[in-house]
Structure 1
Amino acid sequence: MQGEFRGDFTRDTYDKSKHFLRVLMQQGRVQLDADFNEQTSILLNRLQTLAKDIFGLQGGPEHNCGFEFIATEEQINNINHLNDEEKLKLKQLLQSQSYLISKGNYYVDGILCENEEFVSYFQQPDFQPELIDPCQVQLKGATYLAYLDVWERHITPIEDYDDRKINIREVALGGADTATRSKLVWQVKLKQLKEDKDIETVAKQVTKDRDYFYSLLGQELIKPGEGKIIARVTKPSSTGTNNPCVIPFNSKFRGTENHLYRAEIFTVPTVNNNNKLSFVWSRENSSIVFPIVTSTESNSSAIALTLEHLGKDKDCSLSVGDWLEIVDDDYVLGNSDRQLLKVEQVDRIQNQVILSGDAKNKTLLPEKHPLLRRWDSKEVKVNLSEVNHKWFPLEDGIEIQFQADTQNNSYQVGDYWLIPVRTATGNVEWPKLKNKEGKLEPQSQPPHGIAHYYAPLAVISGNPNNVTLYDCRRKIGSQNNNITPVSNKDNNPIAANSPENPTLPIPQKELTAQTIIEFNRVINASWHHDQVLEVTIAELQENSSNIPEEKLFKFKSQDLRNLFTKLGLVIQFEKPVLIDSLHRSSVSVLAHTDNVLKGEVFYILPMKVEPVQVKKTEIKSIRWAVGNEILNSNINLITEVETLTNENTKYTEAVRLITPDDWLQKAVFNQSNIYQFTILLHGDWILNEEPLFDNANLNLLGDLNKGIIPDELRQQFQDKGISLSQNLILVAEKENFKWRLVDGGKIYILQIQNNKLTSSKIQALDGNNIWPGVPERFSGNGSEGGDWVSIIHINPLL
């Protein structure tokens, strides 16, 4: 359990470090709630870990990626699955509400967040930003980070009551309590940024660097906090009584029942209350609550409440002097300032109580599920600057200590710790370690919850009538890990990355199709994968070896001759690749034949590899093999190219594979039984080099030769949105001239050019993208690449 769980549980036994796979029930044994809850936690952890390992820390499916922060009409125009009428309605909603959140799914730390409908930012199902948002959701020329905050809320039959739906309480039981629920809460929030960097740089870095994203959120927003506590039970010197119902003094815990204590942070240090916080505690995990029916204010310092009931027994009831907290949906979901009220009077006939304290004149609405939560203590004040080795008593010998150095750590309102106490042992269940003397000592523990998970959605600048927005979501399937620029409401173009020049603006008409993708990939060719070319061999004699070599291809189709001898096998890349990386070892064509004696035999064809520029594409009618069927399709293919002859050209957007002039002399073309050609690209050899920055300070070379990245270079990488890890490897390929930097799966080249140290990113071809229209299978990480394979089928006509 890591959410806001306040139920009447025995304890939480889930421990990830034990690597338990399942809970096994035995016949005739006692069934505990903790066993069932642990089984759920084991399964949930495995499912969420699987999703996180596959999808990453955040991301949404490409076909249904939700939670786009919509601030412009152009974003609505770019939503493909909506018709014109639906887009018009969304634009009208946008004009009245300023900002929308798109429907769809998104994963945050492996947790699936679902939004079933387009909703206004102001009308989120579990959040009311206009009540508490510090930036008041008006951009006013500043820069804001839109992010997703995800956490689990505990739901009892009180919070679930709704006349319009089927509720979790079984009415046939006459009001008896049963199981509760955990609800996933997602909230889209805005945080004003004070970064001096331009919005595009911030968006790139937020998208790629989780630590940088968390630094922008700030410690005051990240939950739970980092503060820790220790819990123990101490022995009394004597019982002071002969009462046989009191646990004897040789036992530490003096209570008469087992309990699950909860210590919870109630207030935290503020600017005017430095190093001071408070906590409250409950012996029943704060699960004792009383639904509120009506409320009337008696005077400025007291409030009268009518309750649905006063508890099932004296231990779960209310008495004068008890401490209570008024809670409703807004109070929980809005992270409101907390107040404790004291019980002054109890009317057990009318189920009424009068409370003293500051209730802040809050209106309690039935649809907000108001209730009173009982605590078994008042606020206990803690001064973090004086907390060293100080123990704070709860009751019956139970004590907690805030970690001695916690003044350097943070606590958050709502951080809580669960402390199971058992009469059988007279002690608390708390993790321990042996000290140097071999004695077991309790260890400091982080909060049990409430665990929040965060993901960046967008970086926004401007005002509601002229917005510049960068989408920071990650789309699973497209491998789109980068930002997507979006225009403003006036349809003016905005600065964005261009494949040719990162500083050039992309015209508005190109924004709808522009996608900045981490991987290089094949985007078109002069044939289609699984295309079928027909050849006529009716004139062939039984012994094909008697056919003169110069006549062999006369029996082949004109399309096949053009593909190998005139146009060539042309392959176009999304990003220009280094010409030097295209050669016979990285690009090859195989011819497959059937041989009665040898079975399948393939030959490597002697193709020339030429860099070209695509001049023309056309819609061509082709035959296409799909499984065992051959279908006719209209496909956009490359039909005209121009050879690149400039010797200074370093990159090419396309490559042509064409037979050399002496191709007829090759023995392979004497085979009449060729049934298939395979075109193969070794993606890890075909490279794209993306320039990042340069540095005129050549005094850095000494550190580079020693395998050390100077802080100056590390900061330049950081300014480009690239956070280098501490485990990188730096190798000098040529001393004082060229270095290779490997950081995880990413590769960077540092090189001296024009008396400057230049830095470039190396990316390989992601080979497993077979073809547009064919299901994509991604591989590699943008550096390792993979093989790209495409097939041409030969269909003989007898």
Structure 2
Amino acid sequence: MHGDFSRLTFDPAHHYSAVLLQQGRVQLDADANEQSVLVNHFLRHLAADLIGPYGGVGDAFKIAHLGRPGATKDLQIGAGRYYVDGVPADNDRAGATYRKQAEPGPALPKKYPFLVYLRVHERLVTHVEDRSLREVALGDNAPDTAVRLQLVWQVLAADTIPGGAGPIPGSVDEILAKWPDWQAGWRPTARMAADALGPARGQEPCPVAPESRYRGVENQLYRVEIHQEGTADEATYSWSRDNGSVVFPIPPQGGTRIVLKGLGRDDIHTLTPGDWVEPVDASRLWSGPHDLLEVLKVSVPDREIELSGPAEVTGDHPYLRRWDQRGPARPVAEGTWLPLEDGVQIRFAPGGRYRSGDYWLVPARTATGDVEWQRDGEERAYRAPDGIDDHLAPLALIKADGTAEDLRSVIKPSAERPPGGGRP
């Protein structure tokens, strides 16, 4: 989530059940946000306990073959709600198909058999993507207000194991038996730790405690996000001191020279020559990142910027996201401390597999001169990514003759009215 937050405090290990406000106290965004997460956490775990790992009513996400045997033209996706790990996925589009779903996936496999499965996760939506979130009464140059979390889904098809390389078995029983292991294999194995360095000898004094190590002048929520995925030899990462929340809407045609609607709300949240930005559009959610581009020139009066390459974007609401490293995405190096700025440093654990979009949040505080991060003894602990959390469920096996064998779990309401009326 790329929102402008102070920090995100929810931790299931605490077993908190509610956030209670006290009179006359300071109100923090973290408190209200944790209450929202607590409610969702409870409801989704309750749904998963009652339904199981996945399930839906009726024909929700039922897959039907469209085309002649041996030549799949398209797949019909049944309307309705389907729960995956307690998270609801709603297909409310009549006539949805694989090729015409809200978030189209890769081309259908040409080899049989192949597996059709559902992928669900949560993303943050700001006024840049949904203009209705901005209150126009506040004025064009007023700050935005609250953001939203949106559940999004995508139906995928593959003739290889999700997250692996082996062929799809032709047996339904074998697929269902191996599904938990396949889903576990989809999850990232990357781990990261964060710390803050001590000040160099001879550094002039400042008003924070002498043992302080974070030397930034403001509290920050650093975000470290995997850009290019792969092994440590292939993966890259970017970082932001504002959780990647500094964005600039751009016209759908993109290009190298772009006139922006604005250059940010102040001198800190703006663009200057030497900044690096990532074009973000509708395809970013599923198909991976665009290359980062350098800002070469900024014309303040004209609100025009010149980039080192064309911003190739699609969709109705593309934008540029500013990252704060000076240069393109940096290569991942495992087992060594990598500096960000002002003493903040990160270290990746050896042997990780990195996925594009996975991220870690690192709160840095001037009052303590340190980052908020768990310890493992005297060392900073390695931690799994804070997101993205994908939820997967099998839907159908498409056989060589083109028939679709249902892999869903169908749940029935506990109370139904009999055909003749009256109480059940």
TM more than 0.5: yes
Distance 2:167 2:275 in 1: 51
Does the C-alpha gap of structure 1 residues 455 and 29 become closer, same or farther in structure 2, counting only changes over 3 Å?
same
TM superposition shift of 1:354: 0.2
Among 153, 165, 185, the alignment partner of 1:186 is 153
SS of aligned partner of 1:122: coil
Q: How does 1:771-790 map to 2 (within 5 A)?
A: none
Among 236, 243, 252, the alignment partner of 2:213 is 252
TM superposition shift of 1:237: 2.2
Among 356, 364, 371, the alignment partner of 2:319 is 371
Kept after mapping to 1: 8 A contact 2:292/2:329: no
Q: How does 1:387-466 map to 2 (within 5 A)?
A: 387-388=334-335, 390-403=336-349, 406-407=350-351, 409-434=352-377, 440-462=378-400, 466=401
Which one-letter code corresponds to 2:87 in the other structure? I
TM superposition shift of 1:381: 3.6
TM superposition shift of 1:470: 1.1
Kept after mapping to 2: 8 A contact 1:276/1:382: yes
Kept after mapping to 1: 8 A contact 2:252/2:318: no
Q: Which moved more, 1:469-478 or 1:173-182?
A: 469-478
Specify which structure has the higher proportion of helix: 1
Kept after mapping to 1: 8 A contact 2:109/2:158: no
TM superposition shift of 1:138: 4.6
Among 204, 207, 211, the alignment partner of 2:173 is 204
SS of aligned partner of 1:48: helix
Distance 2:167 2:368 in 1: 58
Distance 1:451 1:120 in 2: 25
5+ residue gaps in structure 1?
75-94, 162-166, 298-302, 435-439, 480-625, 627-632, 634-772, 776-798
Distance 1:155 1:257 in 2: 26
In structure 2, the residue matched to 1:362 is 312
5+ residue gaps in structure 2?
none
SS of aligned partner of 1:189: strand
In structure 2, the residue matched to 1:614 is none
In structure 2, the residue matched to 1:147 is 117
Does the C-alpha gap of structure 1 residues 198 and 138 become closer, same or farther in structure 2, counting only changes over 3 Å?
closer
Distance 2:314 2:403 in 1: 40
2:134 maps to 1:158: no
Does the C-alpha gap of structure 1 residues 423 and 455 become closer, same or farther in structure 2, counting only changes over 3 Å?
same
Kept after mapping to 1: 8 A contact 2:276/2:328: no
SS of aligned partner of 2:133: coil
In structure 1, the residue matched to 2:234 is 276
TM superposition shift of 1:374: 0.3
TM superposition shift of 1:277: 1.9
Superposed CA offset, 1:93-135 (max 9, x none): xx9962210101111000111111230211111x122xxx1xx
Among 82, 85, 88, the alignment partner of 1:109 is 85
Among 107, 117, 139, the alignment partner of 1:174 is 139
SS of aligned partner of 2:346: strand
In structure 2, the residue matched to 1:477 is 412
In structure 2, the residue matched to 1:43 is 39
TM superposition shift of 1:278: 1.3
Does the C-alpha gap of structure 1 residues 210 and 469 become closer, same or farther in structure 2, counting only changes over 3 Å?
same
Specify which structure has the higher proportion of strand: 1
RMSD (Å) for aligned C-alpha atoms: 2.7
Which one-letter code corresponds to 2:119 in the other structure? D
TM-score by length of 1: 0.49
TM superposition shift of 1:461: 2.2
Kept after mapping to 2: 8 A contact 1:11/1:34: yes
In structure 2, the residue matched to 1:262 is 223
TM superposition shift of 1:191: 1.0
Which one-letter code corresponds to 1:101 in the other structure? I
Distance 1:128 1:101 in 2: 12
In structure 2, the residue matched to 1:118 is 95
In structure 2, the residue matched to 1:529 is none
Superposed CA offset, 1:728-755 (max 9, x none): xxxxxxxxxxxxxxxxxxxxxxxxxxxx
2:187 maps to 1:235: no
Distance 1:238 1:35 in 2: 39
Which one-letter code corresponds to 1:149 in the other structure? R
**How many percent identity over aligned positions?**
37
TM superposition shift of 1:68: 0.8
SS of aligned partner of 2:399: strand
Larger radius of gyration: 1
TM superposition shift of 1:241: 4.2
Distance 1:105 1:51 in 2: 13
In structure 1, the residue matched to 2:300 is 348
Does the C-alpha gap of structure 1 residues 235 and 461 become closer, same or farther in structure 2, counting only changes over 3 Å?
same
Q: Which has the higher contact order (CA 8 A, sep 6+)?
A: 2
SS of aligned partner of 2:36: helix
Which one-letter code corresponds to 2:156 in the other structure? K
2:257 maps to 1:333: no
Which one-letter code corresponds to 1:425 in the other structure? T
2:221 maps to 1:226: no
Among 312, 316, 319, the alignment partner of 2:265 is 312
Kept after mapping to 2: 8 A contact 1:325/1:373: yes
Kept after mapping to 1: 8 A contact 2:124/2:148: yes
Superposed CA offset, 1:534-558 (max 9, x none): xxxxxxxxxxxxxxxxxxxxxxxxx
